[in-house]
Amino acid sequence: MIVAFRRPRLLSSFLEATPVVRLLVLTQLAFNVGFFMVLPYLSVHLSSDLGQATAVVGAVLGLRTVSQQGLFFVGGAIADRIGTRPTVLTGCAVRVAGLLMLGLSPSIVGVSVGAALTGFAGALFSPAVEAALARSTAAPGGGTSRLDGFALFNAFGQIGAFTGPLIGAVLLGTNFAVVAVTGAAVFDLVGLAHARWLPADPPEHREQRLVAGWSEIVRNRAFLGFALVMSVQLIAYNQLYLLLPLELERGWGSQAPLGVLMAASSAAIVLGQLRIADWAGGLSVRTALASGLVLTGLGFAAAAAGAAIGTAAVIAGTTGFVLLLAVGQMIIGPTARAAIPGLARERFLGSYYGVYASVGGVMVLPASSLLGIVVDAAPDSPLGRAAPWLVMVAVMLAAATVMRVAAHRR
pLDDT, tens digit, 9 for 90 and up, residues 209-231: 778 889 999 999 999 999 999 99
pTM, entire model: 0.92
pLDDT, tens digit, 9 for 90 and up, residues 345-368: 999 999 999 999 999 988 988 888
Give the mean model confidence (pLDDT) for residues 79-86.
92
Which of residues 179, 208, 237 is at a domain's end? 208
In a shared domain, residues 91 and 147: yes
Which of residues 145, 174, 208 is at a domain's end? 208
What single string gives the DSSP state of each residue in 263-318?
A: HHHHHHHHHHHHHHHHHHHTS-HHHHHHHHHHHHHHHHHHHHHHHHH-THHHHHHH
Amino acid at 98: G
In a shared domain, residues 200 and 226: no
Question: Which residue did the predictor score with more confidence, 49 or 185?
Answer: 185
In a shared domain, residues 309 and 179: no
Confidence of residue 407 (pLDDT cuts 50, 70, 90): low
Rg (CA), the chain: 21
The span from the CA of 246 to the CA of 122, in Å, is 28
- Is residue 17's pLDDT more than 70? yes
Residue 403 domain boundaries: 211-410
Contact between 122 and 142 (Cβ < 8 Å): no
In a shared domain, residues 144 and 247: no
CATH (domain of 223) = 1.20.1250.20
In a shared domain, residues 259 and 277: yes
What is the average pLDDT score of the chain?
90
pLDDT, tens digit, 9 for 90 and up, residues 237-267: 989 888 898 888 888 888 888 888 988 999 9
Share of the chain above pLDDT 90, in %: 65
Give the mean model confidence (pLDDT) for residues 189-194.
94
pLDDT, tens digit, 9 for 90 and up, residues 288-336: 999 999 999 999 999 999 999 988 899 999 999 999 999 999 999 999 9
- Is residue 4's pLDDT more than 60? no
Q: What is the DSSP letter of 251?
A: I
In a shared domain, residues 107 and 224: no
In a shared domain, residues 23 and 159: yes
In a shared domain, residues 281 and 371: yes
In a shared domain, residues 363 and 232: yes
Which of residues 208, 234, 260 is at a domain's end? 208
In a shared domain, residues 204 and 226: no
What are the φ/ψ torsions at residue 145 (nearest 5 degrees)?
Answer: -75, 165
Q: Which helix (H) or strand (E) holds 195?
A: helix 176-197
Confidence of residue 140 (pLDDT cuts 50, 70, 90): low
Instruction: Say what the pLDDT of residue 7 is.
Output: 58
The span from the CA of 232 to the CA of 70, in Å, is 17
In a shared domain, residues 381 and 310: yes
In a shared domain, residues 42 and 156: yes
> What total of structural domains would you count in the chain?
2
Instruction: Say what the pLDDT of residue 408 is.
Output: 56
Instruction: Say what the pLDDT of residue 134 is.
Output: 94
Instruction: Say what the pLDDT of residue 205 is.
Output: 67
Question: Which residue did the predictor score with more confidence, 38 or 55?
Answer: 38
